[in-house]
């Protein structure tokens, strides 16, 4: 039974010097900690039970110290605990020992007998039949009924009902019923925390200093196993019976114990060499990256491949002190389950995602992001649709992102927020007390102030952007627009590299996004590859091919490009039957009404032009509404003589750089580029056109088709030098170099 200790005494009095001396002198240390009620306080909404920023930082320091093996032992599913801990590299034993999660290996699960499985199914059905459905949680090796948030009498009645319903089922199926803090559970007899502790002890040296910290009846199994072999510490319930040797009053005292543990080790363990640990990088974006799936031997791969920016950021994560990528999963959940971080993937980097509710997707993503911010930032005033309700949901989702992220952060971390969906996340993290360095990169244009002022409370967006330590744009034009807005709205001062406003200093700069040229280069795409690339040979026949590759979006100028094709064939009729435009449109925002209408209009326009201009054996336009892998696109780019990149407005447009990288240097195609694409500030050797003027665009196409080989080679050589020097990796490295600088 635990010794009586006054709860208002200092921590060292609660855990005596003999405890700390044994810990310091031990050749190995094992610290096992229960989750709910021990590491974190109980919460009525169980997925809101996250460590406080202070507790998370204390646990993180101890985990990363290397001098103590830390294991979380919980009745929750292991992956659920891993999600709540935000990717912390710690062993997690879940479901009372039924599961085990290792940071780099994922989850290993044990098995139940068929009789146990049948019993748990019967327990679930019986609980639902008695009206307890809303309180039931199905776990990997148990069924739990939670009473947190209920009044005392109501909770007592619910626990008694569950106990009476489940006890005969447990007896028939070889299960057991147990109470825990806040409910009743029916579970397998073969897995409990005592067995989990026994397994962990077997993995450690015989003279390990082992400590288990827990708070309820399920932890007593662990305390009993440790008797004579280690130390048990009971949290809370100062009057209850326990097999633990010592007590702590609450999770805050557990946090103090973690800090004191680390401090005691620093007294005796000093690093042999002073090494600066790289900062962790936390990347936050609205949508998570999609990494290219492996092709099955007898299957042709279709679908979206990993983008160059995702590859660059993944590489940056690997070369920092670890980290993770956090974003929206693209999925919806009921409101009570949404916004909860959960592991999405671990390879090639830890990825955590949150779901949103249907209401949030409609108002935040389909609403304010796509109806207001997207058209406004691209200077399409006529497409802007404003709603103060959607603005409030946008802010609410930004706040939810920040609240989910904050417990994972320590002040030494670097946080990199991406794009217009999450403009306010940095300011929200500041409000929540995070003082570490936060960067923001805008992947779309930043408009002039007169366009920005269309937004309701537009000044709050500029104020939020000013909270970042580093802010980046693709081009000098976008940077200038931002600086002017800050000068006018915030009365800021600009010295050529740093912006000073409201007591903060911010580094603002141009960081042109790039690609990974090797993914598109001829040698990678064709030579030595066992995979057969798709070809356009059957499509082009004896004619000459032009190609456009875009998402189906009104900013891309696709209808205007087709009208330019019509002008080309009317002005130069000798080209009829000798040239074909291949237009690939990747589906985009298929639930947004404006994009549904745009696809309908595109289908009609392509049909009209082919009917009016085509022949029985030739169509001027081939229109493909689908996505292709980058390897296939690289092959397509090489087979085309002209690349058409003619957006009405674009942040950068990496297709232009992909087309350049894919060309054969000895026989390159010609890039026709809109002067309103961000890439036009770099790729000045392209044939520049005004996509709003069909005659000008047609002229540019005709110039590209008639360009002499020597001029094509010279222009391509100059552009390729820029594409290969300003890569996606350099873009990420340049931004993170400035973000990690000691002074802003």
**Ramachandran quadrant class, 541 (left: phi over 0; alpha: psi -120 to 50; beta: rest):** left
Q: How far is CA 412 from CA 141, 278, 321, 584, in A?
A: 39, 9, 10, 44
Count of other CB atoms within 10 angstroms of residue 161: 16
Distance CA 16, CA 427 (A): 43
* Sole residue written with tokens 């927020």: 417
Tokens describing residue 723: 């594409």
Sign of the dihedral defined by the CA atoms of residues 701, 703, 704, 706, in that order: positive
d(CA 486, CA 501): 8
**Spatial CB neighbours of 659, under 8 Å, sequence gap ≥ 6:** 547, 637, 640, 643, 645, 669, 671
Q: For the purposes of burial, counting CB atoms within 10 Å of the CB of 706, is it exposed (0-12), middle (13-18) or buried (19 or more)?
A: exposed
Instruction: List strand residue ranges (DSSP E) for 504-561, in order.
Output: 504-510, 544-551
The helix (run of H) or strand (run of E) holding residue 124 is helix 114-129
DSSP state of 347: S
Q: Which of 244, 240, 241 is nearest to 230 (CA)?
A: 244
> Which are the contacts of 675, defined by CB distance < 8 A and separation ≥ 6?
688, 689, 690
Phi, psi dihedral angles at 199 (to 5 degrees):
-65, -45
Q: Give CA–CA dist 713/201, Å, rounded.
A: 69
CA-to-CA dists, residue 190 to 38, 116, 169, 435, 736, angstroms: 24, 10, 16, 47, 50
Q: Prior bond to 687 cis, omega within 30?
A: no
Q: Which one from 36, 516, 650, 738 is the annotated catalytic residue?
A: 650
- Alpha-carbon gap, residue 7 to 248, rounded angstroms: 7
- Alpha-carbon gap, residue 735 to 732, rounded angstroms: 5
Residue 162 has phi, psi (to 5 degrees) of: -60, -40
Q: Any catalytic annotation for residue 146? A: no
Active site (annotated) includes residue 716? no
* Residues 6+ away with beta carbon under 8 Å from 615: 576, 577
Put residue 708 in one of left, alpha, beta given phi > 0 → left and psi -120 to 50 → alpha.
Answer: beta
Residue count of the chain, please give it.
Answer: 744
Could you say which of 96, 421, 424, 443 is catalytic?
Answer: 443
Check: CB of residue 469 under 8 Å from CB of residue 479: no
Sign of CA dihedral 444, 448, 453, 459: positive
**Which is it for strands 470-473 and 281-287: parallel, antiparallel or unpaired?**
unpaired
Taking the CB of residue 509, how many other CB atoms lie within 10 A of it?
16
Which residues are catalytically annotated?
Answer: 443, 650
């Amino acid at each position: 039974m635990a010794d009586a200790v006054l709860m208002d005494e200092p921590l060292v009095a609660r855990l005596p010097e003999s405890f700390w001396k044994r810990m310091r002198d031990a050749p190995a240390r094992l610290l096992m900690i229960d989750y709910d009620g021990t590491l974190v306080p109980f919460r009525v909404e169980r997925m809101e039970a996250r460590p406080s920023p202070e507790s998370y930082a204390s646990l993180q320091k101890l985990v990363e110290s290397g001098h103590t093996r830390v294991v979380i032992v919980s009745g929750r599913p292991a992956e659920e605990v891993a999600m709540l801990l935000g990717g912390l590299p710690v062993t997690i034993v879940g479901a009372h020992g039924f599961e085990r999660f290792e940071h780099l290996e994922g989850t290993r699960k044990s098995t139940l007998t068929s009789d146990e499985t049948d019993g748990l199914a019967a327990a679930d059905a019986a609980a639902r039949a008695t009206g307890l459905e809303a309180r039931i949680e199905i776990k990997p090796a148990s069924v739990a009924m939670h009473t947190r948030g209920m009044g005392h009498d109501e909770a007592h009645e619910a626990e008694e009902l569950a106990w009476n319903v489940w006890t005969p089922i447990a007896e028939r199926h070889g299960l057991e019923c147990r109470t825990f803090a806040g409910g009743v559970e029916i579970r397998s007899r073969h897995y409990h925390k005592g067995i989990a502790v026994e397994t962990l002890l077997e993995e450690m040296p015989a003279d390990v200093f082992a400590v288990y910290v827990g708070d309820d009846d399920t932890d007593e199994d662990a305390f009993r196993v440790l008797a004579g072999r280690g130390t048990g510490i009971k949290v809370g319930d100062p009057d209850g019976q326990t097999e633990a040797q010592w007590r702590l009053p609450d999770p805050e005292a557990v946090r103090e114990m973690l800090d004191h543990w680390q401090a005691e080790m620093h007294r005796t363990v000093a690093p042999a060499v002073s090494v600066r640990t790289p900062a962790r990088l936390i990347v936050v974006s609205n949508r998570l990256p999609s990494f290219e799936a492996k092709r099955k031997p007898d299957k042709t791969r279709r679908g979206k491949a990993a983008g160059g920016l995702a590859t660059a950021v993944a590489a940056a994560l690997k070369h920092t002190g670890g980290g993770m990528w956090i974003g929206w999963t693209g999925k919806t959940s009921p409101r009570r389950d949404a916004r909860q971080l959960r592991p999405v993937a671990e390879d090639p980097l830890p990825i955590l995602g949150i779901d949103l509710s249907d209401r949030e997707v409609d108002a935040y993503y389909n609403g304010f992001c796509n109806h207001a911010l997207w058209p406004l930032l691209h200077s399409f005033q006529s497409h802007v649709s404003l709603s103060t309700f959607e603005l409030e949901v946008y802010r609410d989702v930004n706040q939810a992102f920040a609240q989910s992220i904050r417990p994972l952060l320590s002040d030494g971390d670097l946080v990199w927020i991406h794009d217009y969906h999450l403009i306010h996340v940095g300011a929200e993290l500041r409000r929540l007390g995070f003082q570490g360095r936060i960067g923001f990169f805008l992947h779309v244009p930043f408009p002039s102030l007169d366009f920005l002022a269309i937004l309701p409370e537009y000044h709050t967006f500029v104020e939020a952007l000013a909270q970042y330590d580093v802010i980046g744009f693709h081009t000098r034009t976008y940077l200038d627009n931002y600086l002017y807005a800050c000068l006018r709205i915030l009365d800021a001062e600009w010295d050529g590299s740093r912006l000073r406003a409201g007591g903060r200093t911010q580094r603002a700069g141009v960081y042109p996004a790039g690609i990974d040229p090797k993914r598109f280069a001829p040698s990678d795409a064709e030579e030595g590859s066992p995979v057969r690339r798709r070809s356009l040979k059957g499509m082009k026949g004896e004619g000459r091919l032009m190609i456009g590759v875009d998402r189906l979006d009104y900013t891309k100028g696709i209808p205007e490009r087709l009208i330019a094709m019509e002008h080309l064939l009317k002005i130069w009729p000798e080209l009829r039957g000798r040239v074909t435009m291949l237009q690939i449109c990747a589906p985009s925002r298929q639930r947004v009404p404006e994009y549904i209408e745009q696809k309908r209009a595109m289908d009609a326009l392509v049909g009209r032009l082919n009917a009016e201009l085509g022949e029985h054996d030739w169509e001027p336009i081939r229109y493909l509404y689908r996505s292709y892998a980058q390897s296939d696109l690289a092959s397509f780019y090489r087979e085309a003589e002209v690349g058409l990149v003619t957006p009405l407005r674009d942040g950068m447009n990496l297709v232009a750089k992909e087309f350049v990288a894919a060309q054969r240097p000895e026989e390159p195609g010609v890039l026709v580029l809109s002067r309103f694409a961000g890439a036009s500030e770099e790729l000045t050797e392209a044939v520049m056109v005004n996509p709003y003027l069909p005659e000008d665009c047609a002229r540019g196409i005709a110039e590209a088709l008639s360009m002499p080989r020597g001029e094509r080679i010279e222009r391509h050589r100059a552009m390729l030098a820029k594409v290969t020097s300003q890569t996606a990796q350099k873009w990420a490295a340049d931004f993170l170099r400035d973000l990690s600088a000691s002074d802003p």
